[in-house]
Structure 1
Amino acid sequence: MHLKVCLGEPMIAAFSALGRGPVTTTARLRRAGAFIFLVIAMAFAALPDQAEAQTYRFSNVRIEGNQRIEPATILSYAGIARGQTVSAGQLNDAYQNILGSGLFETVELEPRGNTLFIRVTEFPTINRISFEGNRRLDDEVLETVVESRSRRVFSAAVAERDATRIAEAYNTAGRLAARVTPRIIRRSDNRVDLVFEIFEGDLVEIERIGFVGNQVYSDRRLRRVLETKQAGLLRAFIRRDTFVEDRIEFDKQVLRDFYNSRGYVDFRTTAVNAELTRERDGYFLTFNVYEGQQFRFGEITTTTELPDVDADEFQDALRVRPGVIYSPTIVENSIARLERLAIQKGLNFIRVEPRITRNDRDLTLDVEFAVVRGPRVFVERIDIEGNATTLDRVVRRQFKIVEGDPFNPREIRESAERIRALGFFSNADIDAREGSSPDQVVIDVNVEEQPTGSLSFGGAFSTNNGFSLVASFEEENFLGRGQRLSFSISGAQDNRIYRLQFAEPAFLGRDLEFGLDVGYIETDNQNANYDTRLGRFRPGLTFPVSERGRLNLYYLAETMDMDADYEDLSPSFDASGTIISREAAQGDVWTSALGYNYTYDSRINGLNPNTGFRLQFGQEFAGLGGDSKFIRTKAKATFETKIANEEVTLRASIEGGMLNFRNGNSRVTDRFMIGNSIMRGFAPDGIGPREFDNSDPNNVIDDALGGNIYAVAKFEAEFPLGLPEEYGIRGGAFYDVGSVWGLDNTFSSSNVLYEDQSFRHVIGLSIFWDTPIGPLRFNFSKALQKEERDDEQKFDVTISTRF
């Protein structure tokens, strides 16, 4: 505390008088003592008297400047009542309370006698909010970002926060140079227009993504893993890949999962460097990684100390074997398999703990699966919130446990993944908390729904069917029941398709999918002398029969009508004797059949992420009523693997089919047709038996008949072309061999060609291009061996898009 004492002129004169005359030692002491006494007396006189601290008592309070805020409201903020004795400190508190209400720009308190004057300047209200300069983000999007609202009190602090939020929205969109300035325009009645002036700036692209420290996998391979992509010459016109800082953390996790699943357990990203270009319109992104060594599974054992558990039985249930490349996913799948086995055997509260021993010398990881007893905790209930449209049962059936079952954390995590995989929710959080007692758990499911339906109009082009228009309606969560419904109409130059599909994935509340496919197809076969009209009704059931196998059972009711059309022949020519005409003369043929399809996919919970195969086998038995009796059998096996550090993909497939009619003869609409969808290098009806008659030069018959048997083997390699990865262009080479043959005996004649199983051989090159409108594939083929009348197709391209 500083005390400042001011001495007047009389006191100064007194001090001066003390200094006159002869000075002795005694006199000096007396003068000094008098001086000290005077100073102390002056100091005490200047000290405030605590008993006389300034206080106020107001019998009247006048409030000025308020227009919208009631005086009583302002008095309530001040906290001062009429007639109340208040101190200067309480007046200051009243000032701070009124100002802190956020309703006033300025506040002034002035005590004048027994009256307290409170003068305020209210913040204006917001008349309207507008955005200027925004082209990339619509006003509707920005309105959801800002906190300020029309008809609310304007706050400069809130407006500044809103400007920051808008800039962050642009940063997320890759426009790091975006600037936002809030401005106000004064209006009458203390109103303002709030205007956000936006400078969007240019997109900040990823010019280059590089890696440092990677030895096993190339930069090109690792760039395919990342969510972030780099921009290139072609993408400047069709798509730009922007820099989003939040995505980098996700990319680091993706890289870690990629390496861990391939046995590199020590992998880590040591740093990520993002360097702006000199023009500040792009980034050079560099991931510094440490790969480490690749580990494989060593000894795999199962142990337990529980008397009711047979360790050997659990050991036999494991699929992983020593020598397989280590992957955390394989360990997780093995734990889930063992815990499911425990449930099947009626063993509750069983947990499987993986105990891993590292062997650096031989680069193996020994895994001991310890079967232990977990805590006795039960599921008290499952609470679901946030599902306004989706029924509770759709979410609840993703859990394999119900209220009262033993609590299994692993099952809860798997259920959460199944809920997210539905695609019905933009966000799904599943948490477990203690219930009504320590041995009870409540599972909270909080979801945020997202649109699941679409109405689209689009177009498609193929070298076989030409251009076609497509209109479709799809709903993945029909009526909130988790059902799929779609209806599509497509029209091309040669065909018209009307199709309705419906699927109930949990029929009767079980892992049983009911499907219904109803369609009507008209074709104008310009390359053949017949037209068709097909109506189809096909209900079916699909269910799992093993961990990787599924079986589909279905019923088929089909009506097929075909008309012979020989408009190119002269009217005087009698075409009734041709095979097509005789088959068309049968008119409308009804087929009633039962069938099944079995599918086995090793990629489901497979041990090797780079290798997989898929098997398909199905049969159709016609004769349950209808006009046709036959057995149609089809089989296909596909194998795929990646070599050269996953730079090259090898694929091989073999497929075949057989049609055995038990009454009458098959028609061209029943038999197998081989085209580029099955074997490249030929038109849809390009190979196989044909009826050919050129005895009359003016009326040449050349009809593809199809065959009752076909077999095709295809081999393919996909590899990089050395182009920048961001172009999305890769190359391929293929070799196909196959044939279709066999007709009913009554069709054997001198005019039928190629009824034997003469195999055709085709080689070719492919270009794969991933574009924003979908994947394109260009095939350039050359038939090494074919028949003279085969319809070769040396080039084909397929593209499909929606807009």
Structure 2
Amino acid sequence: MKRAHQAARSARQTAMGGIFRALVAIFISVTTVYVASAPAAQAQAYRFARIEVEGNTRIETGTILSYAGIEPGAAVSAGQLNAAYQNIVDSGLFETVSLEPRGGTLVIVVQEHPTINRISIEGNSRLKDEALASVLRSQPRRVYSPSVAEQDAAAIVQAYEQAGRLAATVEPVIIRRSNNRVDLVFEVSEGRVVEVERISFVGNREFSDRRLRRVLESKQAGLFRQLIQRDTFIGDRLQFDRQVLTDFYRSRGYVDFEILSVASEFSRERNAFFVTFTVQEGQRYRYGNISATSNLPEINVPEYEDAIRIRAGQVYSPGGVDNTIARLERLAVQQDLDFIRVEPRVTRDDRNLLLHIEFAIVRGPRIFVERIDIEGNATTLDRVIRRQFTAVEGDPFNPREIREAASRIKALGFFETAEVNPREGSGPDQVIVDVDVEEKPTGSLGFGATYSSSAGFGLTFNFSERNFLGRGQALSFDVSTGSGTGTYAFSFREPAFLGRDVAYSFSASYTSTNSTLNTNYDTTLGNVTTGFQFPMNEFTRLGVNAFGRVTEVSNVSSTPPNDSSAILQAEAARGLEWVLGAGYDVEYRTLRRGLNPDAGVLFRWSQDFAGIAGDVSYMKSEALAVAETKIMNDEVTLRAIFEGGALNSLDGSNSRVVDRFFLNGKMRGFDYYGVGPRDLGAGNRDALGGNLFAVAKFEAEFPLGLPEEYGIHGGVFVDVGSVWGLDNTAGTGGPVDDSFNIRSAAGVSLFWDTPLGPLRFNYSKALKKEAYDIEREFEVTISTQF
């Protein structure tokens, strides 16, 4: 039995061994055959007698075959089939693609992308649909493309990043509709606004962080973070901040100023940025020796040296150098000298911190302006942009003039962006100037309510357009009503009359007042003025005008005990009067645009001559002088303002209260119609105004130590002035005080840069006054910018 079992086991083992050996032999045979036949399979070529396309409805069959690149009857490898498949997929026209050999026919089966039925944006509240739709490339009734939809989603995210919402996400989703149509929906998750929590500086010694923050476009988040949008973090804005900060230092003589780095760090809570500017100020340089040289025989060097305005010892400013170059090159043009260039050659004196500048007058290359191409101005007419260039087609090319034209185009305020770039024209001596602009809104329409401490509550309506019909013209219409007053005004201005640097203006207004604001009579004033203004030199402009006026004084009380002065009663008896006249004004201004960015002056002189026709004849003269400077590293602004005026009759007639001067708004500490000559024998003692006035105001503005982002700073002031002189005091029945009585007041101011405008709160106290003057201790006004 045992042997039988052993024999059986031995037989099974022998059988199993044979089967194993047979399987190994088969495996080796199959592997050998596979390896031997592999090159043959790879080298196999296909031939298709026909190529058919299925599934296409909008795309032509020929178009699909051109993508495939397979010819009927030609040998096609597997690699070529794969390339044909990939080419059709990469066309972006189809949702699915397959290549199916069916005998001698190759069938290309495609499923076209659907057509977009409608596009919607969901989840957005901070940015409107209209604003986001403008960045989309996908459009209804066009073929849906997944790649374009992804690009659109990225564009929406970028729009939110520009608005400071760095955490915004956008997901494009399609909803299938019938007839191979889809609705494309962009699902938006806006996230939170990321603000600039703090802006700080490292390396600044001469100027405080607070002063430098005022230079930047970006602002810190502060008390009004919900209203002020400039505290939103926008990465692109930092590049602009780098430029304006560099310009600030360079214009004050720091020629070696450098921004070493700008670091923007996310807060730990990831809801705000901390921005740090690391700067290297360097030393402050002044002008040393200033001279002009030239080897050109037609250049009279002393004449050009006389045209230089910068002087040794002044703080160096690139603007001063640029203005000098422009002045010298304009002088060459006036002398009919073309292709004259002025090259500033600077020699540094590091020991004495001086920059010696030699203005070399040389002959430049003979290059002409072939043409000026303008693009992007959908509303603004070409001529509005072209007149910013002093050069036209065919003129000598001057790179500096092109840069100045670019600055003037940007200063128009009509465009979001304006790029001016020259490129080579049809020849090496020709230049084409490309102007690429992007329009922005230039009109406004407003309704509102107002409050003034002098006029009480009122309603306003205003419409203005700074680029009327794309012609660069300014148009405005204003209506305002207050307690006892009403004003209606219309104005129009053409900045380039007949295409020249001459501004034409027209304005009309109608104002009526009743017995309020410390008066007991009504007035009516209608005025129409038209005139021209043109430059006399770099800082001076001259204006001439003609005007027509209608005036009336009415409802003057003659009944005691509230009777008005006999002077006012006599003026009211004259009834409605009209006059035609002409005038001129001259303004010299270096404030904000002179050689010194920290100081400047403004002088304005005007005279009106009434009596060309009408009921009255007089000459009215007014003068304004302003001097301003910054001290203590630009932290404190000192300002002195002087005003004066005189009204002289030309026909011996008496002046009227509607023509005489008052100190309304000119002197703080006193109420409207609260200062000036009065009839002391009259019952109501109305202010009569004066034929002469003079005011001197001295004020200082300074920081209060509050965070700069609040936009709050303080000031102190002292005002001294008087209004005096009447020419009809005889026969009034009582004493009239029209003498030169000095008034003075002092006070403190609080300046607040609000989103609604720069407000000024004044608290003042009269130091010297007359017994009949009316004081006003507190007032709120719009901060005046000269």
Amino acid at match of 1:214: N
| CA distance 1:577–1:481, shift in 2 (3 Å) | closer
Match of 2:124, SS?
coil
Equivalent of residue 637 in structure 2, options 649, 659, 664:
649
Matched-pair contact (CA < 8 Å) for 1:235–1:727: no
Match of 2:249, SS?
helix
Match of 1:538, SS?
strand
Structure 1 equivalent of residue 654 of structure 2: 665
Distance in 1, matches of 2:155 and 2:378, equals: 29
Report Cα offsets for 1:363-386 as digits up to 9, x if no partner.
Answer: 111111101111122233333344
Report Cα offsets for 1:177-208 as digits up to 9, x if no partner.
Answer: 11222233333444333322221111111111
Give the 5 Å matches for 1:103-118.
103-118=93-108
Matched-pair contact (CA < 8 Å) for 1:576–1:582: no
| CA distance 1:182–1:44, shift in 2 (3 Å) | closer
Structure 1 equivalent of residue 16 of structure 2: none
| CA distance 1:93–1:470, shift in 2 (3 Å) | same
Distance in 2, matches of 1:415 and 1:46, equals: 76
Amino acid at match of 1:561: E
**Is residue 142 from structure 1 mapped to residue 132 from structure 2 by the alignment?**
yes
Structure 1 equivalent of residue 680 of structure 2: 692
| CA distance 1:701–1:130, shift in 2 (3 Å) | closer
Matched-pair contact (CA < 8 Å) for 2:565–2:681: no
| CA distance 1:152–1:387, shift in 2 (3 Å) | closer
- The CA RMSD measured in Å over matched residues stands at 2.8
| CA distance 1:73–1:337, shift in 2 (3 Å) | closer
Structure 2 equivalent of residue 452 of structure 1: 442
With 510-519 and 335-344 compared, the bigger mean Cα shift is at 510-519
Amino acid at match of 2:556: D
Distance in 2, matches of 1:155 and 1:289, equals: 48
Distance in 1, matches of 2:731 and 2:709, equals: 56
Equivalent of residue 715 in structure 2, options 727, 732, 749:
732
Matched-pair contact (CA < 8 Å) for 1:594–1:622: yes
Structure 1 equivalent of residue 622 of structure 2: 634
**Is residue 211 from structure 1 mapped to residue 207 from structure 2 by the alignment?**
no
| CA distance 1:742–1:472, shift in 2 (3 Å) | same
Matched-pair contact (CA < 8 Å) for 1:564–1:580: no
Equivalent of residue 704 in structure 1, options 661, 673, 687:
687
Distance in 2, matches of 1:747 and 1:244, equals: 70
Q: What is the CA-CA distance between 1:576 and the residue it aligns to? A: 8.3
Matched-pair contact (CA < 8 Å) for 1:303–1:369: yes
Report Cα offsets for 1:483-513 as digits up to 9, x if no partner.
Answer: 2222222222222222221222222332222
Structure 1 equivalent of residue 533 of structure 2: 542
Structure 1 equivalent of residue 702 of structure 2: 719
| CA distance 1:260–1:748, shift in 2 (3 Å) | farther
Structure 1 equivalent of residue 411 of structure 2: 421
Match of 1:464, SS?
coil
Give the 5 Å matches for 1:237-636.
241-526=231-516, 527-566=518-557, 575=563, 578-603=566-591, 605-636=593-624
| CA distance 1:346–1:437, shift in 2 (3 Å) | same
Structure 1 equivalent of residue 47 of structure 2: 57
Matched-pair contact (CA < 8 Å) for 1:689–1:742: yes
Match of 1:109, SS?
strand
Amino acid at match of 2:309: R
Amino acid at match of 1:714: K
Equivalent of residue 763 in structure 1, options 746, 761, 786:
746
Amino acid at match of 2:602: R
Report Cα offsets for 1:393-449 as digits up to 9, x if no partner.
Answer: 322222222333222111122122222222233333323333343333333333333
| CA distance 1:605–1:314, shift in 2 (3 Å) | farther
Match of 1:561, SS?
strand
Structure 1 equivalent of residue 668 of structure 2: 680
Report Cα offsets for 1:599-631 as digits up to 9, x if no partner.
Answer: 111236522111111111122222222121222
Equivalent of residue 775 in structure 1, options 740, 755, 758:
758
Report Cα offsets for 1:559-606 as digits up to 9, x if no partner.
Answer: 111103339x56xx7958722111100111222222111111123652
Amino acid at match of 1:646: D
Give the 5 Å matches for 1:191-202.
191-202=181-192
TM-score, normalisation: structure 1:
0.89
| CA distance 1:752–1:770, shift in 2 (3 Å) | farther
Q: Report sequence identity in percent.
A: 57
Q: What is the CA-CA distance between 1:65 and the residue it aligns to? A: 4.8
Give the 5 Å matches for 1:743-754.
743-747=726-730, 749=732, 751-754=734-737
Matched-pair contact (CA < 8 Å) for 1:302–1:311: yes
Match of 2:686, SS?
strand
Matched-pair contact (CA < 8 Å) for 1:330–1:605: no
Distance in 1, matches of 2:470 and 2:33, equals: 89
Matched-pair contact (CA < 8 Å) for 2:481–2:487: yes
With 751-760 and 170-179 compared, the bigger mean Cα shift is at 751-760
With 288-297 and 53-62 compared, the bigger mean Cα shift is at 53-62
With 185-194 and 788-797 compared, the bigger mean Cα shift is at 185-194
Distance in 2, matches of 1:750 and 1:737, equals: 31
Q: What is the CA-CA distance between 1:47 and the residue it aligns to? A: 6.8
What are the ranges of 5 or more consecutive residues in structure 2 without an aligned counterpart? 1-19
Structure 2 equivalent of residue 5 of structure 1: none
Distance in 1, matches of 2:227 and 2:593, equals: 40
Matched-pair contact (CA < 8 Å) for 2:566–2:733: no
Distance in 2, matches of 1:339 and 1:239, equals: 43
Report Cα offsets for 1:675-726 as digits up to 9, x if no partner.
Answer: 2x100011121111112337xxxxx332110111111110101111111111
Matched-pair contact (CA < 8 Å) for 2:565–2:732: no
Match of 1:91, SS?
helix
Q: What is the CA-CA distance between 1:67 and the residue it aligns to? A: 5.5
Distance in 1, matches of 2:734 and 2:331, equals: 64
Matched-pair contact (CA < 8 Å) for 1:734–1:763: yes
Q: What is the CA-CA distance between 1:555 and the residue it aligns to? A: 1.5
Structure 1 equivalent of residue 177 of structure 2: 187
TM-score, normalisation: structure 2:
0.91
| CA distance 1:72–1:379, shift in 2 (3 Å) | closer
Q: What is the CA-CA distance between 1:114 and the residue it aligns to? A: 2.0
Distance in 2, matches of 1:396 and 1:119, equals: 57
Match of 2:422, SS?
strand
| CA distance 1:535–1:609, shift in 2 (3 Å) | same
Report Cα offsets for 1:648-670 as digits up to 9, x if no partner.
Answer: 11111111111112322111111
Distance in 1, matches of 2:313 and 2:48, equals: 92
Distance in 2, matches of 1:166 and 1:480, equals: 30
| CA distance 1:53–1:642, shift in 2 (3 Å) | closer
Match of 1:704, SS?
coil
Q: What is the CA-CA distance between 1:336 and the residue it aligns to? A: 0.5
With 494-503 and 167-176 compared, the bigger mean Cα shift is at 494-503
Equivalent of residue 222 in structure 1, options 209, 212, 215:
212
Matched-pair contact (CA < 8 Å) for 1:461–1:798: no
| CA distance 1:576–1:602, shift in 2 (3 Å) | closer
Q: What is the CA-CA distance between 1:269 and the residue it aligns to? A: 0.9
What are the ranges of 5 or more consecutive residues in structure 1 without an aligned counterpart? 1-7, 17-37, 695-699
Paired positions, count? 762
Structure 1 equivalent of residue 4 of structure 2: none
